[in-house]
Amino acid sequence: MLELPRAPSVIPMDEPTLIQRSRQGDLDAFNRLVESYQSQVFNLAWRMLGSPAGAEDAAQEAFISAYRNISSYRGGSFRAWLLRIAVNACYDQLRTSKRHSGPSLDALLETPSFQPPSKDPSPESLALSAELSAAIQQAIAALPEDQRSVLVLVDVEGLAYEEVAQAAGVNIGTVKSRLSRARARVRDLLAAHRELLPDRYRLPK
């Protein structure tokens, strides 16, 4: 994703050491951090933007920004610090974009997190999975930016409220409030696609 020159090194390092060496300009150490978080950053950006190409650009920008500003990291959750940069990169892209088109069904099917659970899905289940994926992504894309980022960080990325608060730059109470509103909004939007939901998740009419 981020193409930086690699210096030869075979010394195993933990995250704090990688961060310390990155702060000293060690590109190999920073690339190891990129490898650890590139999938999570891309998935966050994809959910925020609804476009694989846009997500790739935002993730690239986030890692470049992180490398340039790693001296400003002051401890705490490095993941939350990095995802905050990624969220801001997504906000920048959303604000400069002239149109917000949703992903195609083909793009959804190519995304690993949207693959059907069956090892040998039928054409019907594949189509339903694609339609449900599209409905979910459209519901997320319809959320205000601040609610969208909190929903993705909690319900998709699985961050704790404390990490989300750090990533979003708000207090925990605000995180919970935005999350509650976002979940309610997504639930209402998915009600229009009740037939696509598995039986145990179907909303009452």
**How far is the C-alpha of 116 from the C-alpha of 190, rounded, in Å?**
19
Band of residue 137 on the pLDDT scale cut at 50, 70, 90: confident
pTM above 0.85, yes or no: no
User: What is d(CA 171, CA 161) in angstroms, rounded to the nearest whole number?
Assistant: 9
Q: Please list, in sequence order, all residues whose beta carbon lies within 8 angstroms of the beta carbon of residue 22, skipping any fewer than 6 positions away.
A: 29, 30, 33, 67, 70
Q: At what angle do helices 161-168 and 172-190 cross, to 10 degrees?
A: 100
| 10 pLDDT above the threshold of 70 | no
The confidence score (pLDDT) of residue 104 equals 38
What domains are there in the chain, each with its CATH number?
Answer: 15-201 (1.10.1740.10)
Q: Pick 12 or 90 by higher pLDDT.
A: 90
Q: Is the pLDDT reported for residue 132 higher than 60?
A: yes
Report d(CA 29, CA 40) in Å as an integer.
Answer: 18
pLDDT at 60 over 50: yes
Q: What is the pLDDT of residues 142-195, one digit of tens each?
A: 899 999 999 999 988 889 999 999 988 899 999 999 999 999 988 888 776 665
| Mean pLDDT across the chain | 78
Q: How open is the CA angle 168-143-79, to the nearest 5 degrees?
A: 25
pLDDT at 98 over 60: no
